Each structure stands twice: as C-alpha cells, then as structure tokens.
Amino acid sequence: MLTVHHLNNSRSQRILWLLEELGVPYQIKRYQRDAKTMMAPPELKAIHPLGKSPLITDVTAAGETITVAESGAIIEYLLDTYGEGRLAPARGTPEFLRYRFWLHYAEGSLMPLLVMKLVVGVVGRKAPLLVRPVAKGVVNGLNQAFINPQLKLHLGYVERELNGRTWFVGDQLSAADVQMSFPLEAASARAGGSSMPNIAAFVKRIQARPAYQRALEKGGPFELMS
C-alpha cells in the first residue's frame, strides 16, 4: 500500500494532489509541525534520516518497502510506477525536455529563494530586542542586494513563460504544473496578483481542479507560511 507521510502546511500537499489526479489509491499518515518552531516532528526521522516531508513509502508486489524522499524524486517514482503515460510528455520529445526543466526548476531555483526570503524575515522579526535593529539592517541589506532582485528575475521569467499558456508544457496539465504549484502559490500569496497576472491565473486554475480540492479535503487545512 502506498503511504504519504503528510506534514501539515508543507510541500507534501502537492503529492496528494498528484495522486488524486492519477486516481491511485493511497493512505495518509499525518504529522504536525511544532507550534513554536514550525519544524517537522522527530517522528519523521523514523521514516527517513533527514526527517523532512514529503515522504512516501510503498510496498512492492514482492513485499519490499520502498521509501522515497524529495518532491521531484517522488513525482518521478509515482509516474514511473503508476502513471501509465499520464501527466508527462513522451520521452525524447522537445516537450519532455521542457517538462523536465520545470520539474526540477521549482525546487532547484525558485523555492530556495522563497525559503531564504522567509528565513531572513523571521530572523528580523524574532531577533533579541537589543540586536533587532542590527538584524533588521542585515535583513534589509540581503533583501535589497540579492533576494528581491533574484525573485524579481525568476518570477518575471515564469510570468513571461506562462504568457499565452494554460500549462507549463503543452495544452494539458502535467506533473510539472503540480511541482510548480507550491512556489507559485507562495509567491502569489505574498505578492498579490496585480503584478503577476499570468501566475495568479495559473494558481486559480490549479486550485479550481476537482483533484486539487479532493487533496485539500484529505490532507486537511493548508496554509502557506509567510
């Protein structure tokens, strides 16, 4: 049986969505973030040494239990095992190259910037009172010199790539759209839709899908951290 080790308010939500799109039976084992630190609980380390989510475990026909971590690796495993050619272009085509790019761009380029923005913001707000002005100065410097320009560069690129497109690859939803959903939902929630209309429209499209709604019902309340 396929199990999604699901951490609340995390990237594992999109794995639930992918499975709903595929119609693959699965079960959910839930984990809750620490209310103060927002870190994953130590119980996840019993599944994988890094203790991060998303994680899946799957039992093969031979009875072997397989553990897969990392969103991109999980998506590729699920499509290879259960996809039956769905949600990905045919290998060896130009569309597959584009699909592979977006599948890895989401976590390789875009999410690190969003996480960096989140982390330095927390540092600025929660630094000890005596050093808070210095911390805020460092945060502002990082944002102005690096993080904000890089986010503008990347989100501008994504916005242009979505111009005239419904999905990132071809005219049908693919797993690349599922992978890109989390960073674009986060970016859209923080920036609003006025400056990124194509990204905002993409987020509305994915959130309106019945499979996305089913994943929310099964995964529980989903809030993007800011």
Of 166, 51, 184, nearest in space to 105 by CA: 184
Domain that holds residue 174: 94-209
Residue 225's pLDDT is 54
pLDDT attached to residue 226: 47
Residue 25 has pLDDT above 80, yes or no: yes
Cα distances from 21 to residues 84, 174, 188, 217, in angstroms, run: 13, 10, 23, 14
Alpha helices in 146-209 (DSSP H): 148-161, 175-191, 197-207
pTM of the model: 0.91
Based on the domain organization, do 114 and 172 belong to the same domain?
yes
Cis preceding-peptide flag for 54 (omega within 30 of 0):
yes
Mean per-residue pLDDT for 29-53?
90
Tens digit of pLDDT for each residue in 191-223?
655 689 999 999 999 999 999 999 999 998 777
Predicted local confidence at residue 142, as pLDDT: 82
Same domain, 48 and 75: yes
Please check whether residues 146 and 163 belong to one and the same domain: yes
Overall number of domains in the chain:
2
163 in the same domain as 131: yes
Same-domain check for residues 84 and 100? no
Q: Tell whether 81 and 144 lie within a shared domain.
A: no
* pLDDT confidence bin for 180, thresholds 50/70/90: very high
Residue 170 Rama label (left phi>0; alpha psi -120 to 50; beta)? left
> Looking at residue 132, which CATH number applies to its domain?
1.20.1050.10
